[in-house]
Structure formats: structure tokens, C-alpha cells
């Protein structure tokens, strides 16, 4: 929804003011988001295919759930809310903070806190946000990211690269 208010932040992720989402994107202002990686017991990752009606990255594969941090909301509260809204599940018992990405063009000028959790489904996908969703093997995702597949969002590519670097360290 384009009339939602989100926090505009400075280069250090300090709050400046609340502005309309549409305005924040149009002006390229720094703001906050979360991305959640949902893994199943077979160590596959669930990805969502963004709705063709989305104003950004329509029809592209992205993290399991994601969203803007609303005005006055914490990153953790947003991660909780987004998994319920987009996937229809509460994953609080396994939701773990992984890392934070800087606000750069590849992330749409979003500071992105990335979380992971375990859930085997089923999911109730939010039809206004998601056209499809499926489980992927990690090797398949790594290959798609390495080949810069145009079917995956730039934000997902950036966070997957960081995820792999942390897991292979």
C-alpha cells in the first residue's frame, strides 16, 4: 500500500522523519526494511515470486517474506508482522537475526535487517503481495545468484552473497 508511513533515516540509520512510502521511493531516500529467509527441515529455502502488481521488482523471486519497517516500528516487530501477513505463519520461536545490509542502490536505499527461521509450511500466501512461492535447493539459488539471474531481485542477490560469505567463513 502506497500511503503507508515509513521512517526516513540518515546514513547511520538514525531516524529523521516519517514520510509516505511512495515519496520515499520516488526521492530515493534511505529507509528501513526486513527480509526473512525461511528454511525447511530438508535445508531448502522458500522464496516468493513478487506480485505483478508490485511497483518495485514485480514478478521477480525474492526472500521468503520482506517489508518496510513502519513508522515507529522496530526491525524485529516488522519481521514478526511480515511473516504473518505474507506467509500466514508465526515463526517467532525460530526467528533469528543474521546481519544487516547498508542502504545502497542494490537494496533500494534500504537498511535491511536479515532474519532466518525454520518452518515446513504450509503457507497462506498474501495474494496482493505474492504470485507464487516454492522451495529451492541452496545450490540452485547459489548458482542463480552467481550467474546474476534477472529473475531474482537485486536485494536478494546482495543478501544471499552476504549470507553465503558468513556461512562459508
Among 109, 120, 116, 2, smallest CA distance to 55 is for 2
Q: How far apart are the C-alpha atoms of 67 and 79, rounded to whole Å?
A: 8
Query: What are the residue ranges in the chain where pLDDT is below 70?
Result: 1-3, 169
- What is the predicted pLDDT for the residue at 3? 67
16 CA to centre of own chain:
22
The 10s digit of each residue's pLDDT in 95-137 is: 999 999 999 988 889 999 999 999 999 999 999 999 999 999 9
pTM, entire model: 0.93
**Segments making up each domain of the chain, as ranges:** 32-167
Q: How far apart are the C-alpha atoms of 85 and 124, rounded to whole Å?
A: 9
For residues 14 and 93, is the Cβ–Cβ distance under 8 A? Answer: no
Q: Which CATH superfamily is domain 32-167 in?
A: Nucleoside Triphosphate Pyrophosphohydrolase (3.90.79.10)
- What is the predicted pLDDT for the residue at 1? 45
Amino acid at each position: 500500500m502506497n500511503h503507508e508511513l515509513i521512517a526516513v533515516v540518515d546514513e547511520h540509520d538514525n531516524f529523521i522523519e516519517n514520510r509516505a512510502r511512495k515519496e520515499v521511493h520516488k526521492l530515493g531516500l534511505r529507509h528501513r526494511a526486513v527480509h526473512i529467509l525461511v528454511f525447511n527441515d530438508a535445508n531448502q529455502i522458500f522464496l516468493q515470486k513478487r506480485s505483478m502488481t508490485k511497483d518495485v521488482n514485480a514478478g521477480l523471486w525474492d526472500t521468503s517474506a520482506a517489508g518496510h519497517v513502519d513508522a515507529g516500528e522496530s526491525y524485529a516487530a516488522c519481521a514478526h508482522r511480515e511473516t504473518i501477513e505474507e506467509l500466514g505463519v508465526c515463526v517467532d520461536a525460530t526467528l533469528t537475526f543474521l546481519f544487516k545490509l547498508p542502504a545502497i542502490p542494490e537494496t533500494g536505499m534500504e537498511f535491511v535487517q536479515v532474519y532466518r527461521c525454520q518452518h515446513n509450511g504450509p503457507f497462506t500466501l498474501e495474494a496482493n503481495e505474492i504470485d507464487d512461492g516454492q522451495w529451492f535447493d541452496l545450490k540452485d539459488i547459489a548458482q542463480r545468484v552467481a550467474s546474476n539471474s534477472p529473475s531474482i531481485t537485486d536485494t536478494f542477490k546482495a543478501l544471499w552473497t552476504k549470507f553465503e560469505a558468513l556461512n562459508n567463513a
